[in-house]
Amino acid sequence: MIRTVKPKNARAKRALEKKEAKLVENTKQALFIPGQTSNKALHDIIVDLSALKKPDMKRFNRKNDIKPFEDVSNLEFLSEKNDTSLMVLTTNSKKRRNNLTFIRTFGYKIYDMIELQVAENMKLFQDFKAQTFNVGLKPMFTFQGSAFDTHPVYKQIKSLFLDFFKGETTNLQDVAGLQHVISMTIQGDFQDGEPLPNVLFRVYKLKTYRSEQGGKKLPRVELQETGPRLDFKIGRVHTPTADMVKEAMKRPKQLEPKTKKNVERDDMGDQFGRVHLGKQDLGKLQTRKMKGLKSKFDQVGDEEDYLNDRESELNVTEDSGDDSYGEDFTTATDIQVDEPAKKKQRSN
C-alpha cells in the first residue's frame, strides 16, 4: 500500500502545494550548513555568501556531521525538509583547508557537487568598508576564461554560480537595479595535464559616469570592489548522470510559443493569411431569379424522383468515357490545382 500524505489543515495543504513541482519554477533556495569541522573563517565566508543570496536562503548555526562524498542521504534529507535545491557545506581538514562543498539537487536527489577550497588571500565584506548594494537585486555576471565554455569542470562551475546567484527570472529588469556584478576569472589559461588553475571570485559595485563619447545613452562604467574576495581551488567533483541531466534540462511543452499556421510575411513585410474553405455546395447556389422558378410553383413528389433519375443517367454517360467537352475547356482537375494557392489579403 502506498503511503499518501494528506494534509490535516489548510496551512499544511498550502505548504505542500508550494513544495510541489511546478511548470514555472520559483527561485532556487539555498541552504548553508556548517560541517563538523567548520571554523570562524568559514563561518564568515558563508555569512557573506548568504548575504549575496538573500532573501532566498537559509543558514544553519549548528554544526552537522555530514561527509558529502561518502554518504549523501543526510544532504538529500535536508534538501527535502527545507525545500532547498542549493546547498553549501563547510569543512576544514589538513588535506582540504577551508573547504566549501557546493551541492545542487534535482527532485531532492543529488545533482552535482564540487569542492572549492578558499585560498589564503581572502577578504570579506567588512574588510573593504565599501558602500554595498541593496538586498535581493539581480546581479550581473562576467566569466573570464575560455575554459568556462570548454572544460567540463569549469562549465560546471559556471552553471553552478549562475544558478546559485541569478535570483528571480524576469523579463523586465529595472535599470536602477543594475548595481553589482559577480566576476569569475580563471587564473590563466592551461593545457591538458596541468593542474586546474584557481577560480577567482570577485564582487564589484557599479559606478556609472556620464561620458561625452557615449552620449546620453551609454555611460562610462567604473567598478569598486565590495567583497567577498575568494580564490577557489578546485577539489573533488561529482558530476550528474546523463539520465539526470536529460531529465533536469527538459523544458515544458506547454510554455513553448505556439506556431501560427497559415500566416506568413512576404519580402515587403506584408502579412498574408491563408484561408481554407470547405467544398462549395452547388445545390444551394443562387442562380438567376425568375417567377417561374419560385418554390410555390414546385411540383411536389414526382418531380424529385424525375430529377434523381436524370442525374444518375448523366453520371453513367460521364463514366463511359465519352467526354463531350473539348480540350480547350478547363476541366475540374485544373481548377483544383489552382485553389490552394488562392490568397486573401488581410486588412493591413
In the range 5-34, which residues lie near another protein by CB under 8 A? 20-23, 25-26, 28
Residue reference for cell 482537375: 333
Strand (E) or helix (H) holding 52: helix 40-53
Q: Is 228 left (phi over 0), alpha (psi -120 to 50) or beta?
A: beta
Residue selected from 5, 10, 242, 249 as contacting another protein according to rule CB under 8 A: 249
Interface with another protein in residues 175-234 (CB under 8 A) = 175-176, 178, 181, 183, 185-189, 200, 202, 204, 206, 208-214, 217-223, 225, 229, 231
CB of 163 to another protein, least distance (A): 5
CB of 301 to another protein, least distance (A): 40
Interface with another protein in residues 295-314 (CB under 8 A) = none
170 binds another protein (CB under 8 A): yes
Residue selected from 171, 286, 336, 347 as contacting another protein according to rule CB under 8 A: 171
Other Cβ atoms within 10 Å of 183 Cβ, number: 17
Nearer to another protein, 111 or 133 (CB): 111
| Contact string 128-167 vs another protein (x = CB under 8 A) | ----------xxxxxxxxx-xx--------xx--xx--x-
CB of 173 to another protein, least distance (A): 5
Distance of alpha carbon 64 from alpha carbon 58, whole angstroms: 15
CB of 245 to another protein, least distance (A): 7
4 binds another protein (CB under 8 A): yes
CA distances from 36 to 62, 73, 89, 90, 257 (A): 9, 16, 10, 8, 49
* Extended strands (E) in 210-343: 220-225, 230-238, 263-265, 271-273
Contact between 198 and 187 (Cβ < 8 Å): yes
Identify the DSSP state of 201: E
